[in-house]
Homo-oligomer: A and B are copies of this chain.
Amino acid sequence: MKYYVGIDFGGTSMKIGIINEEGSIIIKNSCVTDPNKSGDDIIKHIAECTQKVINNSKLPQKDIMGIGIGTPGLLNPETGVLKVAVNIPNLNGIHVTKGISDILGKPTFLDNDVNTMSLGEFYYGAGKGLKHVIALTLGTGVGGGIILNGELYRGASFTAGELGHVSISRDGKSCPCGNNGCLERYIGRDGIIERFMVSKNKGVETSIDKYLEDGEVTPKAIAMAAGDGDVLSIRVLEETGKILGSVLATLVNALNPQAIIIGGGVSNAGELILGPARIEMMKLAYSIPANDVKLVRAELGNDAGLVGSASLAVANLK
């Protein structure tokens, strides 16, 4: 059996785990690092945390094939250099993969977390056994990973799959990216809440209050209310699906994938979003590729980041 280490690096905190060839997690742990340390010391600390997990697994060193790191920062997956780290400026410009592999003696790979999560679903989740897959993550942000002919496709400047900034309306909501009408502004976490609140503040009736934690409207609360029949919540999620589906239709025409996999926190609303998304996608896409694609939820859930990171090592070492 071969084993792969995944580091789901969220900033100062990270999850570290080991998967086997079937994608099952053998062991996992988490670790917090001090952002005030030097870049080299942070790398040393990540390596130590990882070594501890490897030691605790009691697996033979030789069966650990490599290490994959997924992170939301800006980076170069070919060189393994982190350009802009999230919450740890001291890591900016650090050659992360070299640092880790020099200490641990294992081939190490780095990519953005949306790409690694896509690889995880491709190898071990909803995309298992397929060749052409688009994975979308709906959460605070909206991101995508594109796998074609069994390989992660990164593009000329490693931004392929940047679907959160597809503009759906040239005069639409302004986005911090500088553009208008970005998809993320409508179906990302805040976009969904905003659309809900606009109606609620206009006095549209809703039973949402029953579902709030700390009085805060969240996509989770909206999904719960919708599940119990709250009409406004259902409508807001339907709209979300419809907007998503219209963009997916274009991707279906362009890329003729076998599956589109939707993950991230917002996707927990499940068919309340995916149902309308599927209808809109089927309506707007060309019939041949539309009939050959399935639109499904991601399967890896809370482990998506960890399994995904390890999958990056799988992809590079297979």
User: What is the interface of chain A, defined by CB distance below 8 A to chain B?
Assistant: 131-132, 144, 146, 148-149, 151, 153-163, 165-167, 170, 177-179, 181, 246-247, 249-251, 253-258, 280, 283-289, 292-293
Contacts and interface: CB of A to CB of B under 8 A. Distances in A.
Nearest to A259: B156
B165 A253 contact: yes
How many copies of this chain does one complex carry?
Answer: 2
Given A144-B254, A250-B250, A254-B251, A286 B165 contact: yes
A148 B153 contact: yes
The 9 closest A-B pairs by CB, nearest first: A155-B256, A165-B286, A160-B256, A167-B284, A156-B258, A157-B292, A159-B256, A159-B289, A162-B253
Contacts of A250: 166-167, 247, 250
Nearest to A251: B254
B155 A257 contact: yes
B157 A289 contact: yes
A60 to B, nearest CB: 36
A164 B254 CA distance: 10
A251 B156 CA distance: 13
B288 A254 contact: no
A157 B288 contact: yes
12 contacts: A131-B156, A146-B254, A149-B153, A155-B255, A155-B257, A157-B289, A159-B253, A166-B253, A167-B284, A170-B246, A170-B283, A250-B250
B156 A286 contact: no
B292 A156 contact: yes
A152 to B, nearest CB: 11
Contacts of A148: 148, 153
A149 B166 CA distance: 22
Given A153-B149, A156-B131, A163 B254 contact: yes
A149 B160 CA distance: 12
A28 B105 CA distance: 59
Nearest to A168: B250
A289 B254 contact: no
A179 B289 contact: no
A47 to B, nearest CB: 31
A289 B156 contact: yes
A166 B285 CA distance: 7
A276 to B, nearest CB: 13
A265 B162 CA distance: 32
Nearest to A245: B170
A287 B257 contact: no
A259 to B, nearest CB: 9
Contacts of A258: 156
Given A153-B149, A287-B178, A292-B157, A162 B256 contact: yes
B254 A161 contact: yes
Given A148-B153, A149-B153, A170-B246, A286 B253 contact: no
B254 A160 contact: yes
A258 to B, nearest CB: 5
